[in-house]
C-alpha cells in the first residue's frame, strides 16, 4: 500500500469523520466477473479511509448481494455491475437495496459495456452516485471514489442521525409537557442521549432539590440501574467528583470514558447526567448534544417549575399546609378506591373571632398546631388539608377515624407564645358509602358537609348518618325548587300578622310574613329564608312581598283614610350588598309605597355588622321610612349600638316574652328593654305574646305594642281585613279563634 496515495484521500479537514474505534466501513462489490472481485480486493485490501478499515462484501449476482446484505444496516458503499444475470440485474438490485432500507448507502454503477448508461430516472430515483466503465475505475480512481462516497455516506448518516436526534429531542420535549415527573424525564434524557450517541452502555441521572442538598440517583441504565434514591457518592465516587467539579452549564463535557451534563434550574434544583461512551464524541455529535442539552435544560426548568407550581397549587400559601385542592385530590382517589373510607371535617376554631382576639400570627400558629395534632392522630394514610377558615378536611381511605379520636386529639388547649388558648372544636365524619352515588354530588356533600354547631361537648363530634344525608338531599331539593319559584313566584304567598296596641287592642299595623309551599308541603321561613340567603334569592323574594304589600295597602286604608302600615322583613344578605337600598328605593317608588305605608324590619345582627348594611339602612331612614330592630335581645347589640342606628322601633324577641309571667316580670329582661327604649324615645313591640298574662305583664311594664298568637296568627293577606275586622275594639283579643286557627 502506498501511504502517500491514501493520505491524499484521507482528507483530515473532514473533522466530523473522526477515527472511530473498531468499526470498518462495509463495502459491497457486486460483479458476475470474479476477476473483478479479486482485482478490487487486491487494489484496496489494506487501505483505511478516515481512520477505518474497509470490510469488503463480494457477491456474484443481485440475488447473492441481497442475501449477503440482509442483516446489515450500515452499508457505506455498493459498487454494482449493471449487467449480470439479466441485462438490468444491477438496476433491479439498486431498487431492492433501497427498498431493503439502505437509504444512506452510496451506490456506484459499473459496466463492462461502454455506452450503456442507465436511464436517468434510475439515477435520480435511486440516488446513484456515479457511473463508470470498468476501465475507468483504476485503483487511484477507485480509492478516490470510495473516499468521496464514504464521506458522503457519513455526512448523510450524521444528518439523518441528527434528524433522528432532533426528532427525539422534539418528541421528548412533547412528552415532557404530558409527563411532569422527574423520573420519567430523567429516563428520557438517558435513553435519548444514548440513542443520539449510539451507545447502549451505562449511565445515570441524579438530582438534588438545591445546591446544599445531596445529589441522589433519579434513574440509571446498565450497571447504574437499580440505585434509585441512593446518593451519587455512594454509587460512584468518580462521577460524584465529576459532578462536583463541573459547573452548571448547558455545555456537555467529555471526561475519561464519560460524557457529562449538568443543569441548574432557576429555582436552584440541580440535575447531573453521565453516560459511559465507547467512542470519542465527534464534533457533530457534540453539536447535537449541545442542542439536546439546551432542550434538557428547558425541560428541566419546566419540570422544576411544574413541581413548584404543583406544590403551590396544593398548598395554602399563608399557612403552608395542604389546601382544598389536596383534599379534593385525595377525596377523588378515595372515591375511586371504593366505599370503605371516611371523610372528616373538623372546625378547629371560629377563625374570624380567633383572629380578632389573638391576632393573625397566633391564630396561624394555632392552625398549624392543630394540623400537627390531626396528622399525628390520623397517620400517614390520611390526607389532612385546610378546607375553610379554621377548618380541616381529612380523607381517611382506611376508615380509621372515630369521633372520639378526633375529640381527643383536639380538645386540649393550645399553648402559643405562652398564651393558653382553649378550643371548642367540632367535627363530622362521613362514610364514603353514605355519600351520594353521583361523583359530583359526593364531592359536594363531602366538601360542603356542615360541621355541627357546638352546643354541648356531646354534640361536637358526630358521625354523618342517614339523618344528615336526608337533610342534605332535602336542602338540595329545596334550593333548586326555590330557585325556580322565586322566578315564577309560584307557591309563594304573603301572610299578614297583626300588631296591636296592648292597651286598647287596636290593630296598629301588620307584619308581612312569607309562606312557601312546594308539592303541598308548607316550608317554614326558618328553613327557606336561609336557603334563599345562601343562594342570593332574597332580593327576588323581597320584591314579591313588596308587590303584594303595595297592592294590599292601597286597597285597605283605615277608616280615617290613613294608610295601614305593613312591616316587611329585610334580609341581612341583601343589606350586605352595596346598592341594595338604592334598588329598594326605586322599587318603592315604582310601587307607590310611601313611608307611612311601610316599615322595614331588620334583625339585630345589623348592629354587629360592618358599615355597608348600616349605611343602607340610613339611606332608607333618610327617605322617611321607619325601621324596626327585629328579634332584639338575641344578639349582642348594646345601647351604644342602638343609639347610632336610625331605628324607631325595637321588637323584643319572643324568647324573652315566652318566659314572662306576672310573678317574674319585674326581674325580666323585658323590663330593662322597655325602659331602655323608652329612654331612647323609641317604640317597643313585644313579639310572640301567647297569653293574657304575658300581655298584661308587658302592658304593665310600659310596653305599648305587641304581636302574637294571642291577637292572631299570620293569615293570608286576602283574608286579613275580614278576619281581623279592621275596626278598633276595646280590650283583649282582637281576633277570635278563627284567626288563631288560620295557621295552626
Q: Which residues are near Mg ion by CB under 5 A?
A: 569, 601, 630-631, 687
Q: Going residue by residue from 710 to 729, which x/- string records binding to ligand C2E, judged by CB under 6 A? A: ----x---------------
Residue 524 binding ligand C2E, by CB under 6 A = yes
Q: Which is nearer to ligand C2E, 59 or 660 (CB)?
A: 660
Q: Which of 390, 631, 720, 726 binds ligand C2E (CB under 6 A)?
A: 631
Residue 529 binding ligand C2E, by CB under 6 A = yes
Rg, the chain, Cα only: 46
* Segment lying near ligand C2E (by CB under 6 A), choices 259-267, 363-371, 547-555, 702-710: 702-710
Residue 525 binding ligand C2E, by CB under 6 A = yes
Residue 744 binding ligand C2E, by CB under 6 A = no
Interface with ligand C2E in residues 591-630 (CB under 6 A)? 601, 630
Question: Within 13 Å and on the Cβ side, how many CA atoms surround 729?
Answer: 13
Q: Which of 643, 687, 692, 722 is catalytic?
A: 687
Query: For residue 317, what are the contacts with CB-CB under 8 A and spacing of at least 6?
Result: none
- Which partner in ligand C2E, Mg ion, none is near 116 (CB below 5 to 8 A by kind)? none
Query: For residue 642, what are the contacts with CB-CB under 8 A and spacing of at least 6?
Result: 607, 629, 650, 676, 680, 682
Dist CA 719 CA 494 (whole Å): 11
Q: Which is nearer to ligand C2E, 299 or 706 (CB)?
A: 706
Q: Which of 28, 44, 261, 545 binds ligand C2E (CB under 6 A)?
A: 545
**Closest approach of Mg ion to the CB of residue 654, in Å:** 7
**Closest by Cα among 570, 565, 568 to 597:** 565
Termini Cα distance of the chain: 123
Q: Which is nearer to ligand C2E, 277 or 567 (CB)?
A: 567
* Segment lying near ligand C2E (by CB under 6 A), choices 26-34, 49-57, 212-220, 523-531: 523-531
How many chain residues bind ligand C2E (CB under 6 A)? 25
**Closest by Cα among 551, 558, 565 to 599:** 565
* Segment lying near ligand C2E (by CB under 6 A), choices 176-184, 250-258, 387-395, 683-691: 683-691
Residue 688 binding ligand C2E, by CB under 6 A = yes
Distances (CA, A) of 2 to 9, 19, 37, 38, 39: 12, 20, 21, 19, 16
**Angle, alpha carbons 728-734-738 (nearest 5°):** 135
- Which partner in Mg ion, ligand C2E, none is near 638 (CB below 5 to 8 A by kind)? none
Residue 526 binding ligand C2E, by CB under 6 A = yes
Residue 569 binding ligand C2E, by CB under 6 A = yes
Dist CA 251 CA 270 (whole Å): 15
Interface with ligand C2E in residues 495-514 (CB under 6 A)? 497, 513-514
Beta-strand runs (E) in 102-164: 106-111, 128-133
Residue 229 binding ligand C2E, by CB under 6 A = no
Q: Which is nearer to ligand C2E, 165 or 708 (CB)?
A: 708
**Closest by Cα among 99, 108, 95, 101 to 149:** 108
CB-CB contact of 652 with 628 (8 Å): no
Cell numbers linked to 422: 382553649
- Which partner in ligand C2E, Mg ion, none is near 375 (CB below 5 to 8 A by kind)? none
- Which partner in Mg ion, ligand C2E, none is near 192 (CB below 5 to 8 A by kind)? none
Q: Give the position of cell 438545591.
A: 210
CB-CB contact of 296 with 265 (8 Å): no
Rounded to 10 degrees, what is the CA torsion of 249, 250, 251, 256? 80
**Closest approach of Mg ion to the CB of residue 373, in Å:** 41
* Segment lying near ligand C2E (by CB under 6 A), choices 158-166, 311-319, 323-331, 524-532: 524-532
**Closest by Cα among 441, 425, 455 to 345:** 425
Strand bridging mode 461-463 / 426-431: parallel
CB-CB contact of 511 with 549 (8 Å): no
Q: Which is nearer to Mg ion, 314 or 600 (CB)?
A: 600
CB-CB contact of 255 with 290 (8 Å): no
Produce one character per residue of 612-622: b if its CB has 16 or more CB atoms within 10 Å, e if not: ebbebbbbbbe
CB-CB contact of 642 with 617 (8 Å): no
Q: In the annotation, is 264 catalytic?
A: no
Q: Going residue by residue from 362 to 381, which x/- string records binding to ligand C2E, judged by CB under 6 A? A: --------------------
Cell numbers linked to 56: 469488503
Q: Which is nearer to Mg ion, 475 or 571 (CB)?
A: 571
Q: Give the position of cell 319585674.
A: 666
Cell numbers linked to 640: 351604644
Residue 280 binding ligand C2E, by CB under 6 A = no
Name the DSSP class of 452.
P
Q: Give the position of cell 341583601.
A: 574
CB-CB contact of 36 with 81 (8 Å): yes
Q: Which is nearer to ligand C2E, 69 or 567 (CB)?
A: 567
**Closest approach of ligand C2E to the CB of residue 429, in Å:** 32
* Segment lying near ligand C2E (by CB under 6 A), choices 161-169, 273-281, 347-355, 685-693: 685-693
**Closest approach of ligand C2E to the CB of residue 567, in Å:** 8
Strand bridging mode 414-416 / 270-276: unpaired
Q: Which is nearer to ligand C2E, 105 or 740 (CB)?
A: 740
**Closest approach of ligand C2E to the CB of residue 371, in Å:** 38
- Which partner in Mg ion, ligand C2E, none is near 317 (CB below 5 to 8 A by kind)? none
Task: Report the residue closest to Mg ion, judged by CB.
Answer: 601
Residue 708 binding ligand C2E, by CB under 6 A = yes
CB-CB contact of 486 with 523 (8 Å): no
Cell numbers linked to 420: 393558653
**Closest approach of ligand C2E to the CB of residue 338, in Å:** 43
- Which partner in ligand C2E, Mg ion, none is near 524 (CB below 5 to 8 A by kind)? ligand C2E
Binding interface with ligand C2E (CB under 6 A): 497, 513-514, 524-526, 529, 538, 541, 545, 569-571, 601, 630-631, 654, 687-690, 707-709, 714
Active site members: 687
Amino acid at each position: 500500500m502506498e501511504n502517500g496515495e491514501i493520505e491524499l484521500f484521507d482528507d483530515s479537514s473532514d473533522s466530523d469523520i473522526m477515527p472511530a474505534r473498531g468499526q470498518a466501513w462495509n463495502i459491497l462489490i457486486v460483479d458476475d466477473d470474479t476477476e473483478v472481485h479479486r482485482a478490487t480486493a487486491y487494489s484496496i485490501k489494506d487501505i483505511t479511509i478516515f481512520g477505518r478499515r474497509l470490510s469488503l462484501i463480494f457477491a456474484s449476482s443481485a440475488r447473492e448481494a441481497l442475501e449477503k446484505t440482509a442483516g446489515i444496516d450500515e452499508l457505506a458503499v455498493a459498487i454494482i455491475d449493471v449487467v449480470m444475470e439479466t441485462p438490468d440485474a444491477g438496476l433491479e438490485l439498486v431498487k431492492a437495496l433501497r427498498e431493503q432500507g439502505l437509504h444512506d448507502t452510496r451506490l456506484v454503477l459499473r459496466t463492462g459495456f461502454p455506452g450503456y448508461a442507465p436511464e436517468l430516472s434510475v439515477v435520480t430515483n435511486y440516488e446513484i452516485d456515479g457511473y463508470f466503465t470498468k476501465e475507468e475505475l483504476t485503483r487511484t480512481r477507485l480509492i478516490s471514489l470510495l473516499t468521496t462516497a464514504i464521506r458522503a455516506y457519513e455526512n448523510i448518516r450524521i444528518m439523518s442521525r441528527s434528524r433522528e436526534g432532533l426528532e427525539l429531542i422534539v418528541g421528548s420535549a412533547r412528552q415532557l409537557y404530558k409527563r411532569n415527573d422527574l423520573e420519567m424525564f430523567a429516563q428520557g434524557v438517558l435513553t435519548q442521549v444514548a440513542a443520539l450517541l449510539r451507545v447502549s452502555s451505562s449511565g445515570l441521572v441524579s438530582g438534588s432539590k438545591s445546591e446544599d442538598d445531596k445529589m441522589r440517583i433519579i434513574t440509571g441504565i446498565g450497571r447504574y440501574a437499580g440505585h434509585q434514591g441512593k446518593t451519587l457518592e455512594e454509587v460512584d465516587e468518580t462521577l460524584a467528583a465529576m459532578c462536583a467539579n463541573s459547573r452548571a452549564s448547558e455545555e456537555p463535557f467529555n471526561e475519561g470514558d464519560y460524557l457529562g451534563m449538568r443543569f441548574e434550574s432557576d429555582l436552584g434544583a440541580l440535575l447531573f447526567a453521565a453516560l459511559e461512551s465507547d467512542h470519542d464524541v465527534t464534533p457533530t455529535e457534540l453539536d447535537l448534544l449541545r442542542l439536546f442539552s439546551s432542550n434538557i435544560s428547558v425541560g428541566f426548568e419546566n419540570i422544576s417549575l411544574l413541581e413548584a407550581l404543583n406544590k403551590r397549587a396544593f398548598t395554602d400559601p399563608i399557612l403552608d399546609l395542604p389546601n382544598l385542592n389536596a383534599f379534593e385530590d385525595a377525596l377523588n382517589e378515595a372515591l375511586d378506591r371504593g366505599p370503605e373510607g371516611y371523610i372528616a371535617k373538623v372546625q378547629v376554631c371560629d377563625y374570624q373571632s380567633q383572629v380578632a382576639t389573638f391576632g393573625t400570627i397566633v391564630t396561624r400558629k394555632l392552625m398549624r398546631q392543630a394540623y400537627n395534632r390531626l396528622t399525628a392522630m390520623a397517620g400517614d394514610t390520611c390526607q389532612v388539608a385546610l378546607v375553610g377558615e379554621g377548618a380541616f378536611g381529612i380523607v381517611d381511605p382506611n376508615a380509621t377515624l372515630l369521633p372520639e379520636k378526633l375529640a381527643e386529639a383536639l380538645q386540649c388547649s393550645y399553648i402559643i407564645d405562652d398564651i393558653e388558648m382553649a378550643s371548642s372544636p367540632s367535627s363530622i365524619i362521613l362514610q364514603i358509602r353514605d355519600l351520594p352515588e353521583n361523583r359530583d354530588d359526593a364531592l359536594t356533600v363531602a366538601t360542603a358537609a356542615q360541621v355541627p354547631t357546638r352546643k354541648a361537648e356531646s354534640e361536637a363530634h358526630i358521625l354523618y348518618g342517614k339523618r344528615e344525608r336526608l337533610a342534605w338531599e332535602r336542602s338540595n331539593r329545596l334550593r333548586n325548587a326555590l330557585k325556580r319559584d322565586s322566578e315564577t313566584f309560584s307557591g309563594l304567598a304573603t301572610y299578614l300578622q297583626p300588631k296591636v296596641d296592648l292597651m286598647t287592642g287596636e290593630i296598629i299595623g301588620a307584619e308581612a310574613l312569607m309562606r312557601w309551599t312546594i308539592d303541598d308541603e308548607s316550608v317554614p321561613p326558618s328553613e327557606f329564608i336561609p336557603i334563599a340567603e345562601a343562594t342570593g334569592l332574597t332580593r327576588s323574594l323581597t320584591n314579591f312581598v313588596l308587590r303584594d304589600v303595595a297592592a294590599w295597602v292601597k286597597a285597605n286604608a283605615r277608616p280615617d283614610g290613613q294608610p295601614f302600615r305593613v312591616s316587611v322583613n329585610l334580609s341581612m344578605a341583601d343589606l350586605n350588598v352595596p346598592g341594595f337600598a338604592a334598588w329598594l328605593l326605586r322599587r318603592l317608588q315604582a310601587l307607590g309605597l310611601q313611608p307611612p305605608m311601610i316599615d322595614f324590619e331588620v334583625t339585630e345582627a345589623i348592629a354587629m355588622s360592618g358599615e355597608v348594611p348600616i349605611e343602607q339602612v340610613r339611606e332608607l331612614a333618610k327617605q322617611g321610612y321607619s325601621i324596626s330592630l327585629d328579634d332584639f335581645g338575641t344578639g349582642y347589640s348594646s345601647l351604644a349600638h342602638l343609639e347610632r342606628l336610625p331605628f324607631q322601633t325595637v321588637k323584643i324577641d319572643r324568647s324573652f316574652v315566652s318566659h314572662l309571667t306576672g310573678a317574674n316580670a319585674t326581674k325580666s329582661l323585658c323590663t330593662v328593654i322597655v325602659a331602655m327604649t323608652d329612654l331612647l324615645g323609641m317604640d317597643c313591640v313585644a313579639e310572640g305574646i301567647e297569653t293574657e298574662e304575658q300581655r298584661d305583664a308587658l302592658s304593665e311594664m310600659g310596653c305599648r305594642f305587641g304581636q302574637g298568637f294571642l291577637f292572631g296568627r299570620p293569615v293570608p293577606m286576602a283574608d286579613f281585613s275580614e278576619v281581623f275586622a279592621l275596626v278598633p275594639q276595646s280590650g283583649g283579643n282582637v281576633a277570635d279563634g278563627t284567626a288563631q286557627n288560620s295557621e295552626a
